Amino acid sequence: MSSITLKSYAERAANQPNAAAKALLECMARKQTNLSVSVDVTNKQDLLDVCDAVGPNVCLVKTHIDIVEDFDMDLVEQLTALSKKHDFLIFEDRKFADIGNTASLQYSSGVHKIASWSHITNAHLVPGPSVISGLAKVGVPLNRGLLLLAEMSSAGALTKGSYTQACVDEAKKDTTGFVCGFIAMSRVDEKEGPNTEKDLLILTPGVGLDVKGDSLGQQYRTPDQVIRESGCDVIIVGRGIYGPLMTEEGKKDKKAAFVKVREQGERYKKAGWEAYLARIGQK
Ligand code: 5BU
């Protein structure tokens, strides 16, 4: 049996049992993009405007909804409308890490009601597999998907070795059908040869074409290193795309900044897709 990395996204979509992962793979194949934009801006209108600008080029919008200062449920409604308009899914990067009961309440309730609008979310396995069961109780009936944080992109991350392996083992033996992949820097499920048990997605942050890192430990690799060399499936790009909005110039002339944001989206989409075609031998 061959590696998951040699299969097309469309082929994998056809055999994917998790509804959210299936929808994501189908969207990637349909739009020819493995780009996820991480929209880490702190006001509602900027968040919506970035999604509208890059929407045509992405398969997935990643949010940190708790950083939005003027959050309200109208934001969620508008974001959902944009996800339909541009054909992308939504991933709230919540990184749940509490006991099952608390995680399930954090996922379903509170101000943000994440499960009601986010197709995919993620969790640390630090509390043990009960965090999966707690979240699954809420997410499975809604056809959501869960990614385990098997590896992080920041310097000195403790997500390595036996911890990473435990994430892989839990994902493979998950009986809820909720776990559909990982946040990871490499093909963690194929460290010991092809994974023939269960198709799992690998989404990878820490992607940049112009710089190697930031002043707070982030480390960047190129789309080619992530998709072709490391065998990951989705590139997650934040400041590399919306960065033009954050400069003094961008704050003064938002219209011009959004033109650049759109261009960066196209650039990362192209780089990610070329790396994928090279990986599956179609280029
Ligand atoms: P950047 O602007 O491209 O550096 O943003 C990366 C995003 O991905 C940001 O929202 C982080 O919270 C997120 N991230 C990450 O950078 N590294 C990780 O290991 C994980 C998430 Br998990």
Using the predicted structure, report yes or no on whether residue 283 has a pLDDT greater than 90: no
Ligand 1 pocket mutation, candidates 35, 36, 39, 40, criterion most atoms within 8 A of CB: 40
Average pLDDT taken over every residue of the chain = 97
For 134, counting Cβ atoms within 10 Å of its Cβ (0-12 exposed, 13-18 middle, 19+ buried), the class is: buried
State the average pLDDT over residues 178-185.
Answer: 98
Q: What is the mean pLDDT of residues 203-207?
A: 98
pLDDT at 206 over 80: yes
Q: What pLDDT, on a 0 to 100 scale, did the predictor assign at position 33?
A: 98
Query: Residue 183: what pLDDT?
Result: 98
Segment 244-258 mean pLDDT? 95
Percent of the chain exceeding pLDDT 70 equals 100
Please give the average per-residue pLDDT across 184-209, as a whole number: 96
CA of 62 to the centre of ligand 1 (A): 10
> Is 118 within any annotated ligand binding site?
no
Question: How far, in Å, is the centroid of ligand 1 from the Cα of 150?
Answer: 14
Rounded to an integer, the average pLDDT of 108-130 is: 98
Q: What's the rounded mean pLDDT across residues 261-272?
A: 98
Percent of the chain predicted with pLDDT > 90:
99
**List of domains in the chain:** 4-280 (3.20.20.70)
Is there a contact between 36 and 234 (Cβ–Cβ < 8 Å)? yes
The answer to whether 218 is a known ligand-binding residue is yes
Q: Is 203 in the pocket of ligand 1 (CB under 6 A)?
A: no
238 annotated among ligand-binding-site residues: yes
In this structure, what token pair is assigned to residue 208? 């940049």
- Residues with catalytic roles: 93, 95, 98
Measure 205 CA to ligand 1 centroid, in angstroms: 5
Mean pLDDT, rounded, for 56-72: 98
pLDDT at 1: 66
> Mean per-residue pLDDT for 172-188?
97
In short, whether 264's Cβ falls inside 6 Å of ligand 1 is: no
Average pLDDT of the segment spanning 223-230: 98
The predicted structure's pLDDT at residue 2 = 86
For ligand 1, the distance from its centroid to the CA atom of residue 1, given in whole angstroms, is 33
| pLDDT score at 128 | 98
Q: What is the mean pLDDT of residues 239-253?
A: 96
pLDDT at 159: 97
Q: Is 66 labeled as ligand-binding?
A: no
